[in-house]
Structure 1
């Protein structure tokens, strides 16, 4: 039995997870273009850190550098708490008007393996918004050069502001306030937009932290666009990519491709990712396609408003809308 679902069933997944319709082959080609752009930026950033060294050597050097290691879970928790606090202080009143209940993110280490994720504040505010960050060895070293972009994605200006503002918004009904997970194109697109926004605002002052953003979330999410559409439609791998050119995608090629773009995860984690893509067609592309819509909406507002464009006002309107599919988001953000 084939793992690929084909174009018709894939379009149903896109409608479900993104709330839009796509030209799938055009989006597949865009994924390759986006990945090439990101990889060129990765090469440039790596050359700033260790000129003349190949990328694997640069990544290994950063992993081994004591300047980018923290020992112990509690020390790491305090460090990410400082990152979160500083981001809110820098953004509030300048690029966002952050409601008082959201001016604090609680950063915690879970007692058991549970990944990295954000939990919105309780509706009655009895519990603050929380970033949970699993540490594999609570007494060992944690590598930090990849961490800031993830904190911006999960915390502020990412999911903490997006989900927090939604939770507090009295204009939205209760279903809207708690349904963000039903719209991953909107929510994960915003998280990826937040990573890039902080780059535009100069918050990756250390080249290693900017490399972490590019080689982590940005590269992986672009690779997912290629993989998800490519595997389900069994598309050909184009010439000039340097990867099995002319062959059609299979889960085995997907594993090899993801292995090269995901970082030092165990093979079991990579295999799980491939199975997830095959079982949830359209979900994996939500991050990059959602980010694309947010960026296009901002650029359209900038063109429409000209010198009067106000980034803080754009963000206010964006977050006040609450969760929705990407077609509706595009329509609502186009209203003057």
Structure 2
């Protein structure tokens, strides 16, 4: 490997001690007993590393095409990270899904429970939670005093999550974690005492953080949840790794949703002849053959389908390395409604995992809705993409394999993978096909609502749904639109709306990213002509690692 790869590998070594939480996420060992410094100084140290790395990177010329891709990817990601830091976005970030609070809690999900070393790491980390959340409080307050603060409603919603995590009748997260560790094996009395003290301290710190949010930070937050065009443009570029015309993308969202709902009506007619989409959904939901009664049984169903997809795709449509053929399906220990994937550890001792945080009150599951979710989170979606990147040490430097992530690339690929499975013949059942189209329509609705609400755009007078023509988007209209076009439980949908309002620019990255992938595939087909091979296109594209969509487009054009 050349100088650029050496710099990238050095960056990982410097970065890991600055962010022990993220180091656990990507599977770098040695930091599992620590939490990240969430003070202003901690954020500044990360920004300083990025600046020094970019300065050095600018002096280097790539030795070959592979290093050229690495340089472009690293420059694009680090420049945008610094742009967000300099704009005050990083130190003020607080929302219902992607904040420092969530990082502290969710890192425990990825830690092994059995054995004295595992228990000792968890005890130490639990004991560090009060300090970390205290630092985060001060950082958020300082950012707010500088004019950077989340909207008041978003702050209150996060406080409600603190309530749920600490409620013995709800998630009861930290005490439940301690119980799981103690049940995993015999431990010395002193270590058990450390665990219990740590769990109590972490729980109390989370209660205190909820109080801080309500009583100190929320009064500083604004009433308007829209971030405006300038902030949104930066957020969109960060999540996509590309600059897009936001007005054109907004208009495209309406056209794409109308196209998908037309296709949904055609498929629905095969399920309930002459019936509507809602009639088909009702029939599928009422079908006992498509219903699973417990979350444990649902997890087992997901596992079986994920394993079968990997076995079927390996050697036929994809070359799947042996290490990547293992995935674990898990029920998350919280109940906020999120479905997500976490990648394997660097040495693959921890496999890639598919998680579902089942909301309180959800007791049955319709499989027709979730076949496509398994393909999205598993193979050929996130698991294939992320785990295959992690295993390609022969092609990718350590930064590319472990740290490089762009939502437009990753979520776009996973949504592309859902449609790909239909193209490959895996959605012959009309119910499963409707589930995939419903998933696609949900993501198209996100494009409209996210851009519309944050830019406070006018709803087109000629929109294909006759939805409040000429009015301007508000959260209330966003809720009405989502309920009209997204067929998921209100508990999940309410979380989704709060997520969009607090995490601008991320939600459209799925559908916009898929649009990039489909365009790139057709451009490659046009360049290659009769020599185009879909399996080879996928291999070459994934071998680039997770990069911004603009660098991806440029790199694919050179292949």
For normalisation by structure 2, the TM-score amounts to 0.57
Partner of 1:305: 528
Partner of 1:296: 519
Range that drifts further, 204-213 or 98-107: 98-107
Question: Are the equivalent residues in 2 in contact too, given 1:237–1:248 (CA < 8 A)?
Answer: yes
Question: Are the equivalent residues in 2 in contact too, given 1:184–1:286 (CA < 8 A)?
Answer: yes
Does the alignment pair 1:42 with 2:264? yes
Question: Are the equivalent residues in 2 in contact too, given 1:106–1:131 (CA < 8 A)?
Answer: yes
**Higher helix residue share:** 2
For normalisation by structure 1, the TM-score amounts to 0.93
| CA offsets 1:108-145 (integer angstroms, 9 cap, x no match) | 33454363222211111112222223456899542211
Equivalences for 1:1-336 in 2 at 5 Å? Answer: 1-113=223-335, 115-135=338-358, 140-170=363-393, 171-180=395-404, 182-215=405-438, 217-238=439-460, 239=462, 240-266=464-490, 269-336=492-559
Q: Hey, what's the Cα distance between the residues in 2 that align with 1:137 and 1:27?
A: 35
Q: Hey, what's the Cα distance between the residues in 2 that align with 1:265 and 1:76?
A: 17
Q: Give the superposition deviation at 1:67.
A: 1.3
Measured at CA, do residues 86 and 233 of structure 1 come closer, stay the same or move farther in structure 2, by a change above 3 Å? same
Q: Hey, what's the Cα distance between the residues in 1 that align with 2:416 and 2:250?
A: 20
3-state SS in 2 of match to 1:132: strand
Q: Give the superposition deviation at 1:4.
A: 2.5
Q: Hey, what's the Cα distance between the residues in 2 that align with 1:102 and 1:292?
A: 26
Measured at CA, do residues 259 and 140 of structure 1 come closer, stay the same or move farther in structure 2, by a change above 3 Å? closer
Runs of 4+ in 1 over 6 A off after TM superposition: none
Measured at CA, do residues 136 and 256 of structure 1 come closer, stay the same or move farther in structure 2, by a change above 3 Å? closer
Q: Hey, what's the Cα distance between the residues in 2 that align with 1:75 and 1:234?
A: 43
In structure 1, list runs of 5 or more residues that go unmatched.
none
Range that drifts further, 60-69 or 147-156: 60-69
Measured at CA, do residues 16 and 69 of structure 1 come closer, stay the same or move farther in structure 2, by a change above 3 Å? same
Measured at CA, do residues 138 and 34 of structure 1 come closer, stay the same or move farther in structure 2, by a change above 3 Å? closer
Question: Are the equivalent residues in 1 in contact too, given 2:267–2:434 (CA < 8 A)?
Answer: yes
3-state SS in 1 of match to 2:368: coil
Q: Give the superposition deviation at 1:274.
A: 2.7
Q: Hey, what's the Cα distance between the residues in 2 that align with 1:213 and 1:160?
A: 18
Q: Hey, what's the Cα distance between the residues in 2 that align with 1:148 and 1:255?
A: 26
3-state SS in 2 of match to 1:323: coil
Q: Hey, what's the Cα distance between the residues in 2 that align with 1:134 and 1:274?
A: 17
Question: Are the equivalent residues in 2 in contact too, given 1:166–1:320 (CA < 8 A)?
Answer: yes
Q: Hey, what's the Cα distance between the residues in 1 that align with 2:359 and 2:501?
A: 28
Question: Are the equivalent residues in 2 in contact too, given 1:135–1:142 (CA < 8 A)?
Answer: no
Measured at CA, do residues 243 and 119 of structure 1 come closer, stay the same or move farther in structure 2, by a change above 3 Å? same
Query: How many residue pairs get matched?
Result: 333
Question: Are the equivalent residues in 1 in contact too, given 2:335–2:360 (CA < 8 A)?
Answer: no
3-state SS in 1 of match to 2:547: coil
Please tell me the root mean square deviation across aligned C-alpha atoms, in Å.
2.0
Measured at CA, do residues 179 and 66 of structure 1 come closer, stay the same or move farther in structure 2, by a change above 3 Å? same
Measured at CA, do residues 33 and 139 of structure 1 come closer, stay the same or move farther in structure 2, by a change above 3 Å? closer
3-state SS in 2 of match to 1:145: helix
Q: Hey, what's the Cα distance between the residues in 1 that align with 2:232 and 2:334?
A: 35
Question: Are the equivalent residues in 2 in contact too, given 1:179–1:323 (CA < 8 A)?
Answer: no
Q: Give the superposition deviation at 1:269.
A: 4.2
Measured at CA, do residues 135 and 35 of structure 1 come closer, stay the same or move farther in structure 2, by a change above 3 Å? same
| CA offsets 1:220-278 (integer angstroms, 9 cap, x no match) | 11011111111122222121432111111111111111122232322x54344333223
